[in-house]
Chains A and B, each alone.
Chain A
């Protein structure tokens, strides 16, 4: 016994000390990374998939790219309209086909290089190059030659050399960019303001690609390799934790930027993010407020739901009998109690939707008059189609949705409506995201929860989804007249005639109902009341460039004018505010004159 005690003690010591050493090492590498709190912290909800503007795709990515890059146009945070950014001057030819941009003379990259028209030409060619595989490239086929450039063959079918191909994008001098379009495109200005249409720094990217031909994409998008031109630069990137953005001192309008640092968090759990917000560790939460809390939050001055260009709807698989019968789809459409969903379940100001275009209008466009709920009519329609009390067996209707609490709740209510009013057996089926997407793509569903959020404020962006050849149609619905109207609208140079074509198309869609609109979204920003320069627009586009912290005096003033009846929430922001150098100077000057 004692003879073995010696070695055993040694082994035990090793067994205890080795893990302890590992643990200490792990803690050291996990904890050495403490950062001081940023001037502004917001939760992005997920980790951005990429910081390459040509590859990135999604709302979370767009928020970061808006801070890092700036294109010819950007979005005004108050109106949401496309406004000039790097384009100091824009000339459009009378036929609306040639756009000439004069670039700002003081535009620079974050490493000090001047930003020239050539940078734009190179970046746009990169975006359109099929090897870049940008999901946004298809939107730019309105540019002359873009279609051929992407396909790799000219209109006669002969292969082209991309390096020398004459694309309708060129630089006439260092500050002048000319873009020629193949057809008049009324929404081109909106496209220019989209986040993928920003320049990327050619020299640094090409150097990286030369250094690491096969792994450059996993080395780019780091603080030491990313050269950008927006109001902020990347200071730190921690996967699934945060992006730390620092003010870009070389930005042409740096004097207007107040925040010195911004943290972009990737917290996926809505309740955790909300708890952190309440504790003042987060200053802005995007729409991911826990549903159960909305009723408590409405009426607080830090919560201000705003109409948002997004539609929540159900796709119907029109290839599957009996859903191929228009009357059946109408019956389903007419028995959804939308008001109950909006007022009782969601309760943040969402409105019932009966049209494809959320809120029924968009810019100059007005949706056609639409049918609404109609219980008796729906029951009659279903009987007419041969179902109902003494008709044939309908079968079990299954609602497919991607797993989320909110989708589940809405599906439960709708299933309840359909079984109550139409006496249909309805089942729910939740699937994890990828299976759900796959099932939609293969048309392997009966009714499926869906949504569409506009990329830019234009009715075409919604209506083009349901053409026969659209990748996003996914209902099996085809309508020749609808396709023709959309194609015509795409080429139309006159706004009124374009709207008319779109309106007729939407009327067809609402008659056929391959989709069942349910409600129009609201953006649900939860933002510290002290934050100034914060956008409130139908795209929920924010520009971190304009954010600042109000001081006590300004906060009190804004509360007097804006949120009179709302419940005041204690702000966690700095009491003295945080202003950009320019507005600080202006305030000082203003203060002196007043005195």
Chain B
């Protein structure tokens, strides 16, 4: 059996593997060093130990730091001395990318945004106080409407990341609950719940999206009435589509856990399914869920891009990676290529997604008990 150690259940309070079990899975490497490490880690919560391991995985740690920087930059986008991503400059000659030190353009900042939430609006005010009318030049060029590409990428990353995280969180919620519940209940319930997942798998993605969008679209009698928040709808729709894989993966994990001693013991003591789910199962699938979350994020971002390409995604004048790339692809043609419209958004999106993948790999290794062998040869 290849997977003994790996599938051995860990209980919620932390793993107490014996040195014996460790030694079995070592493949004859430096036993002493690992033993010392194991001593040090013993008793620490799963997540804390995983964190320690992640830190030692250089690429994953680098990816994590990169994502943090991107995350903070996009979170604080209103505070950066960037031009507004909405202000158009419909002039005859549009600026092309220019090195910051050669940039001689003097443009003045205008606080001209779409309707921002109160926090962002406050941040914009702080920004105006901080830098006044100063704004960065067209370092990455401008789009067809003369809007600053750097600002659009930063704001776009914000939108895309936020959409992805919100949708992935929704998919996590539904997927974990559904998968775990199906596995724990077992029998007919399990079969039907999983058949439902299969059916949804077989339905084309665009079908689901259009139907979901149509279902929440309510007409309004006059302009004063509340609008259905398209943004929220969009998250929910994406989340509702992306929980399927999560549910399958979690179900597999829980099936393995189900026959473990501590779950059986709880059952014998008369614990309810819900209690077992909360107390034993969820803490144990946490690692797997986190790993799949980092893999769901890119999928959601790609789906957002595809829907924006079809015009069903993020609504202009707001901006996302998907909208930027849809514009960028239009710039590829045989006679007049505005390469920056394509190159910069693509680089930005690709680096974020790559970082997510590397982080996902790193997290999987980190949550894996035997991870040391892979990351530290």
Task: Give the interface of A toward B (CB within 8 A).
Answer: 271, 274-275, 278-279, 290-293, 296, 320-323, 340, 344-345, 393-398, 402-405, 408-409, 411-413, 415-416, 425, 427-430, 432, 435, 442, 444, 446
Beyond the given A275-B333, A293-B333, A293-B336, could you list 9 further A-B residue pairs with CB under 8 A, ordered by the A residue number? Answer: A292-B338, A320-B221, A322-B222, A402-B311, A412-B317, A427-B115, A428-B317, A430-B312, A435-B214
Question: What 8 A-B pairs have minimum CB-CB distances, sorted nearest first?
Answer: A403-B311, A395-B223, A344-B90, A278-B334, A395-B224, A444-B219, A296-B336, A321-B222
CB-nearest residue of chain B relative to A277? B334
Contact of B88 with A by CB under 8 A: yes
Which residue in A291, A411, A442 is a CB contact (below 8 Å) of B316?
Answer: A411
Determine the distance from Cα of A558 to Cα of B358 in the docked complex, in whole angstroms.
62
B145 touches A412 (CB 8 A): yes
Interface with A: B71-79, B298-306, B324-332, which one?
A: B324-332
B residues in contact with A320, CB < 8 Å: 221-223
Interface size class of B (residues with CB under 8 A): 35 or more
B88 touches A394 (CB 8 A): no
Determine the distance from Cα of A247 to Cα of B214 in the docked complex, in whole angstroms.
48
Tell me how far the C-beta of A293 lies from the nearest C-beta in chain B, rounded to whole angstroms.
Answer: 6
Which residue in B86, B115, B222 is a CB contact (below 8 Å) of A425?
Answer: B115
Tell me how far the C-beta of B244 lies from the nearest C-beta in chain A, rounded to whole angstroms.
Answer: 23
B335 touches A292 (CB 8 A): no
B227 touches A279 (CB 8 A): no
A residues in contact with B213, CB < 8 Å: 435
CB-nearest residue of chain B relative to A435? B214
B residues in contact with A416, CB < 8 Å: 86, 88, 317
B334 touches A274 (CB 8 A): yes
Which residue in B115, B222, B331 is a CB contact (below 8 Å) of A292?
Answer: B331
Tell me how far the C-beta of A587 lies from the nearest C-beta in chain B, rounded to whole angstroms.
Answer: 34
A residues in contact with B32, CB < 8 Å: none
B residues in contact with A394, CB < 8 Å: 223-224
Determine the distance from Cα of A425 to Cα of B227 in the docked complex, in whole angstroms.
12
Contact of B315 with A by CB under 8 A: yes
B residues in contact with A403, CB < 8 Å: 310-312
CB-nearest residue of chain A relative to B213? A435
A residues in contact with B145, CB < 8 Å: 345, 409, 412-413
Determine the distance from Cα of A275 to Cα of B214 in the docked complex, in whole angstroms.
36
B222 touches A274 (CB 8 A): no
Contact of B225 with A by CB under 8 A: yes
B residues in contact with A291, CB < 8 Å: 144, 330
Contact of B230 with A by CB under 8 A: yes
A residues in contact with B86, CB < 8 Å: 416
Majority-rule SS of A interface residues:
mixed
CB-nearest residue of chain A relative to B312? A432
Tell me how far the C-beta of A464 lies from the nearest C-beta in chain B, rounded to whole angstroms.
Answer: 28
A428 touches B316 (CB 8 A): yes
Task: Give the interface of B toward A (CB within 8 A).
Answer: 86, 88, 90-91, 115, 144-145, 210, 213-214, 217, 219, 221-225, 227, 230, 310-312, 315-317, 326-327, 329-336, 338
B311 touches A404 (CB 8 A): yes
Known contacts A275-B333, A395-B225, A425-B115; decide if A430 and B90 are in contact (CB<8 Å). Answer: no
Determine the distance from Cα of A340 to Cα of B317 in the docked complex, in whole angstroms.
18
CB-nearest residue of chain A relative to B115? A425
B residues in contact with A290, CB < 8 Å: 330, 333
B315 touches A271 (CB 8 A): no
Tell me how far the C-beta of B71 lies from the nearest C-beta in chain A, rounded to whole angstroms.
Answer: 27
Known contacts A345-B145, A425-B115; decide if A398 and B329 are in contact (CB<8 Å). Answer: no
Ordered by A's residue number, 21 sampled pairs between the chains whose C-beta atoms are within 8 Å are: A271-B332, A271-B333, A275-B334, A278-B335, A290-B333, A293-B333, A293-B335, A296-B335, A398-B227, A405-B326, A405-B330, A408-B316, A409-B145, A412-B88, A412-B317, A428-B315, A428-B317, A430-B312, A432-B312, A435-B210, A435-B217
Determine the distance from Cα of A278 to Cα of B333 in the docked complex, in whole angstroms.
9
A residues in contact with B330, CB < 8 Å: 271, 290-292, 405
Known contacts A403-B311, A444-B219; decide if A396 and B333 are in contact (CB<8 Å). Answer: no
A residues in contact with B332, CB < 8 Å: 271
Tell me how far the C-beta of B310 lies from the nearest C-beta in chain A, rounded to whole angstroms.
Answer: 7
B residues in contact with A292, CB < 8 Å: 144, 330-331, 336, 338
B335 touches A432 (CB 8 A): no
CB-nearest residue of chain B relative to A411? B316
Determine the distance from Cα of A416 to Cα of B210 in the docked complex, in whole angstroms.
28
B88 touches A413 (CB 8 A): yes
Tell me how far the C-beta of B323 lies from the nearest C-beta in chain A, rounded to whole angstroms.
Answer: 9
Determine the distance from Cα of A345 to Cα of B143 in the docked complex, in whole angstroms.
12
Interface centre among B213, B221, B222 (most CB of A within 10 A): B222
A residues in contact with B312, CB < 8 Å: 403, 430, 432
CB-nearest residue of chain A relative to B146? A344
Determine the distance from Cα of A292 to Cα of B335 in the docked complex, in whole angstroms.
11
CB-nearest residue of chain B relative to A393? B224
Which residue in A279, A321, A430 is a CB contact (below 8 Å) of B311?
Answer: A430
Which residue in B223, B331, B333, B338 is a CB contact (below 8 Å) of A323?
Answer: B223
B333 touches A446 (CB 8 A): no
A409 touches B224 (CB 8 A): no
A residues in contact with B336, CB < 8 Å: 292-293, 296
B residues in contact with A296, CB < 8 Å: 335-336
A residues in contact with B333, CB < 8 Å: 271, 274-275, 278, 290, 293
Interface centre among A345, A397, A432 (most CB of B within 10 A): A432
A427 touches B315 (CB 8 A): yes
B residues in contact with A432, CB < 8 Å: 210, 310-312
Interface centre among B213, B227, B316, B332 (most CB of A within 10 A): B316
CB-nearest residue of chain B relative to A320? B222
CB-nearest residue of chain A relative to B143? A292
Determine the distance from Cα of A394 to Cα of B219 in the docked complex, in whole angstroms.
17
Tell me how far the C-beta of A23 lies from the nearest C-beta in chain B, rounded to whole angstroms.
Answer: 23
Tell me how far the C-beta of B371 lies from the nearest C-beta in chain A, rounded to whole angstroms.
Answer: 31
Tell me how far the C-beta of A282 lies from the nearest C-beta in chain B, rounded to whole angstroms.
Answer: 12
CB-nearest residue of chain B relative to A324? B222
Tell me how far the C-beta of A302 lies from the nearest C-beta in chain B, rounded to whole angstroms.
Answer: 12
Determine the distance from Cα of A11 to Cα of B111 in the docked complex, in whole angstroms.
67
B residues in contact with A396, CB < 8 Å: 223, 227
A405 touches B335 (CB 8 A): no
Tell me how far the C-beta of A194 lies from the nearest C-beta in chain B, rounded to whole angstroms.
Answer: 32
Which residue in A293, A405, A444, A446 is a CB contact (below 8 Å) of B223?
Answer: A446
Known contacts A321-B222, A416-B88; decide if A427 and B334 are in contact (CB<8 Å). Answer: no
Tell me how far the C-beta of A85 lies from the nearest C-beta in chain B, rounded to whole angstroms.
Answer: 39
A residues in contact with B335, CB < 8 Å: 278, 293, 296
A residues in contact with B221, CB < 8 Å: 320
B residues in contact with A293, CB < 8 Å: 333, 335-336
Determine the distance from Cα of A413 to Cα of B115 in the docked complex, in whole angstroms.
16
Tell me how far the C-beta of B142 lies from the nearest C-beta in chain A, rounded to whole angstroms.
Answer: 13
B residues in contact with A430, CB < 8 Å: 311-312, 315-316
B residues in contact with A345, CB < 8 Å: 90, 145
Which residue in B210, B223, B329, B334 is a CB contact (below 8 Å) of A322?
Answer: B223
B residues in contact with A322, CB < 8 Å: 222-223
B317 touches A429 (CB 8 A): no
B residues in contact with A411, CB < 8 Å: 316
A residues in contact with B338, CB < 8 Å: 292
Tell me how far the C-beta of A184 lies from the nearest C-beta in chain B, rounded to whole angstroms.
Answer: 44
B residues in contact with A405, CB < 8 Å: 326-327, 330
CB-nearest residue of chain A relative to B327? A405
CB-nearest residue of chain A relative to B329? A271
Determine the distance from Cα of A428 to Cα of B317 in the docked complex, in whole angstroms.
7
Determine the distance from Cα of A415 to Cα of B335 in the docked complex, in whole angstroms.
32
CB-nearest residue of chain A relative to B313? A430
Interface centre among B90, B223, B311, B335 (most CB of A within 10 A): B223
CB-nearest residue of chain A relative to B209? A432
Determine the distance from Cα of A344 to Cα of B316 in the docked complex, in whole angstroms.
19
Determine the distance from Cα of A403 to Cα of B316 in the docked complex, in whole angstroms.
11
Which residue in A404, A409, A429 is a CB contact (below 8 Å) of B230?
Answer: A429
Determine the distance from Cα of A225 to Cα of B230 in the docked complex, in whole angstroms.
50
Tell me how far the C-beta of B278 lies from the nearest C-beta in chain A, rounded to whole angstroms.
Answer: 41
Tell me how far the C-beta of B117 lies from the nearest C-beta in chain A, rounded to whole angstroms.
Answer: 14
